[in-house]
Amino acid sequence: MSHATQDTAVRTGRIARTFIYLVLLLFALFYLLPFFVMLANSLKPLSEITGGNMMALPQDWTIAPWLSAWSTAQIGVEPTGLRPYFLNSILMVVPAVAISTVIGALNGYILTKWRFRGDTVIFGLMLFSCFIPFQIVLIPMARMLGLMGLAGSTPGLVLVHVVYGIGFGTLYFRNYYAAFPTELVRAAQIDGAGFFQIFWRIMLPVSGPIAVVNIIWQFTNIWNDFLFGASFADLDSMPMTVALNNLVNSSTGVKEYNVHFAGAILAALPTLLVYIVAGRYFVRGLMAGSVKG
């Protein structure tokens, strides 16, 4: 008797598990479908798209749309492809992420280990900056960039993104460093390490997980930003997102969907890469930041 009940228990377990996997598989397919459509259609000649089925695999495989999107497609008025704008985005995102991460870490370090009168108020104000909608600052920011002579330039965009990035960076690092034992800082003080030596030699080496969290967060946000790019960049500093929009909107004559798909994938590639390379640390970092404090 008992054997029989145990048997059913196992069988129901197996059924339940099959069911769970089936549902998960379905969801995975559902999420992957758009990517499949983009990838499949970016590898077809245009005629196969206009004349046929969006869901079908290419019959005549070609990488011509990719080459076109990268180097020859019409962006606005110039037939440059996305390449120069990809470079613009890199030149914007790398310094912006680096600077906002370093400043965020420094702020976190000061707000937890060099407490001063009113530090919580300052932290509160910094947090507040995370919630200010982009649209509100557009006009004052344009004016400021103009006054500083940075209007329409990549450094100008870097500045805007750094300003916006500091809030989140500070939040991440402050919460992470709050759990960092203050006795270590005191020991280092007695050992004769100064403000920056403590930061470089003691704090930063153990900040890996939270730095990765911050870098992924900032990188995705800044790379994907459209509004600031569209508002503050001119032709020479235009980031990838704006260029992609121009590619899709400005083609005269026939819409080259295959080129658009290839361009869109190109635009998404760096963030994808960052997730794949650093994603493992992302989850770990979030855990370390929240559970252990």
Partner 1 sequence: MGFLDIRNVTKSYGAVEVLHQVDISVQEGEFLVLVGPSGCGKSTLLNMIAGLEGITSGEIAINGRVVNAVHPSKRNIAMVFQSYALYPNMSVAQNMTFGLEMHGVPKPERDKALKDVAALLQIEPLLDRKPGQLSGGQRQRVAMGRALVRDPDVFLFDEPLSNLDAKLRVDMRTEIKKLHEKLKTTVVYVTHDQIEALTLSTRIAVMNGGYVQQLGTPQEVYDDPANVFVASFMGSPSMNLIPARLRLNGQAAVEIADGAGQPVALPLTGTPGGAQDGDALLFGLRPEALTDTEGADRHARNIVTFRNPVDVVEPAGSDTFVTTTLGGKDAISRMRADTRLTPGQTCDFAVNMDKAVLFDPRTEQRLRLT
Cβ neighbours of residue 100 under 8 Å, at least 6 residues apart? Answer: 161, 162, 165, 166, 169, 214, 218
Binding residues for partner 1, per CB under 8 A?
181, 183-184, 186-193, 197, 201-202, 205-206
Give me the numbers of helices (H) and strands (E) for the chain, helices first please: 13, 0
**Beta bridge mates, 152:** 233
In angstroms, give the least distance from the CB of 117 to partner 1: 11
Nearer to partner 1, 60 or 183 (CB): 183
In angstroms, give the least distance from the CB of 206 to partner 1: 6
Nearer to partner 1, 202 or 212 (CB): 202
Residues 10, 20 contacting (CB under 8 angstroms): no
In angstroms, give the least distance from the CB of 181 to partner 1: 6
Residues 210, 281 contacting (CB under 8 angstroms): no
Nearer to partner 1, 93 or 202 (CB): 202
Half-sphere exposure of 207 (CA within 13 A, CB side): 26
Nearer to partner 1, 51 or 192 (CB): 192
Sign of dihedral through CA atoms 109, 113, 118, 120? positive
In angstroms, give the least distance from the CB of 201 to partner 1: 8
Nearer to partner 1, 66 or 173 (CB): 173
Residues 100, 218 contacting (CB under 8 angstroms): yes
In angstroms, give the least distance from the CB of 111 to partner 1: 19
Which structure tokens are listed for 102? 């370093």
In angstroms, give the least distance from the CB of 213 to partner 1: 19
What is the rounded CA–CA span in Å between residue 222 and residue 90? Answer: 10
Nearer to partner 1, 140 or 192 (CB): 192
Report the 10 Å Cβ neighbour count for 123: 18
